[in-house]
Amino acid sequence: MKVAWLLGMVAAFCLLLLALGYHGKIKKRLALLGSCFGIILGSGLLLLAVLPGDSFYGPVLAAGHTNQKVVALTFDDGPYSPYTEKILAILKKKNVHATFFVVGENALAHPELVRQIKADGHLIGTHTQHHKDLLRLDKQEVRDEMVMGVESIREITGEKPRFIRPPHGFKDYEVIEQAESLGLTVVNWDIIPRDWTNPGTETIVSRVIENVKPGSVILLHDGDSPVNKGSREQTVQALPEIIDRLRVEGYSFVTVEELQTK
């Protein structure tokens, strides 16, 4: 079931109570209290859909359950030249394996970069075909976005991805149910340095280092939406320092698939 339907039912319940109260069928105070409860319930349901680490609607891997000092670096929204190439070069130099959640249409536009990601030993997950907000789509559209995203990767690499990051990390019953039916594990994050806002290289580094813990999934971006086409140079600049400082603190790097088994 979609969170939008749940919100619609809650709104209808509130309106019904208010109408009954207005016409004197129930006490006005009861109608107002019930409506307030409905508003709180609706806000809570929406919050649970957009909070990346919450598993209310179904299983979401937002961090590994481990005491081992391992972290998963994840890169979203690519492939996106020249930043994907620059990030791959850094990861190769530092001997780090990461996870790339690629957007299907970007993958089809740059299949050579997807092949390079795979050849370098990184894990590839889908970030859907067009990076649409899945909470706003109907059941068939959600499935189409996922199936197309999976098929775009399979066409290029010969392998179907087993992990999905929904755009913006938004998920509800419908999203998780569809993902599971396609054999996809939903992966979000627990560390979000907001690199896409270009807050400065040092800020990106410190937001990671100050919040990291064993099993963390770190969200970074090698790509951007085709509309914004922002620079990812700050992410490129921050990455070597993030890797070096995490290593100094005793962390090693795994893909989300490896993290799942820790």
Q: Tell me: does residue 222 bind Zn ion (CB under 5 A).
A: no
Which one is catalytic: 110, 190, 221, 224? 221
Single-letter amino acid code for the residue at 64: G
Place of tokens 């208010």: 18
Residue/partner pairs of 23-28 with CB below 8 Å, 24 or more apart: none
120 is catalytic: no
Q: Which residues touch 65 (CB under 8 Å, ≥6 apart)?
A: 215, 262
In the complex with Zn ion, the residue whose CB is nearer, 76 or 190, is 76
* Shortest distance in whole angstroms from residue 239 CB to Zn ion: 18
Helix, strand and coil content of the chain, in percent to the nearest 5, comes to: 50, 10, 35
* Shortest distance in whole angstroms from residue 35 CB to Zn ion: 36
Place of tokens 């922002």: 230
* Shortest distance in whole angstroms from residue 76 CB to Zn ion: 4
* Shortest distance in whole angstroms from residue 131 CB to Zn ion: 6
Residues present in the chain in total: 262
Q: How many residues sit close enough to Zn ion to count as binding (CB under 5 A)?
A: 2
In the complex with Zn ion, the residue whose CB is nearer, 35 or 106, is 106
138 is catalytic: no
DSSP string, 74-102: EEES---TTHHHHHHHHHHHHT---EEEE
Q: Are 225 and 131 in contact (CB under 8 A)?
A: yes
Considering only residues 64 to 93 of the shown chain, the ones binding Zn ion according to CB under 5 A are: 76-77
- The catalytic residues are 76, 221
Q: Which residues bind Zn ion (CB under 5 A)?
A: 76-77
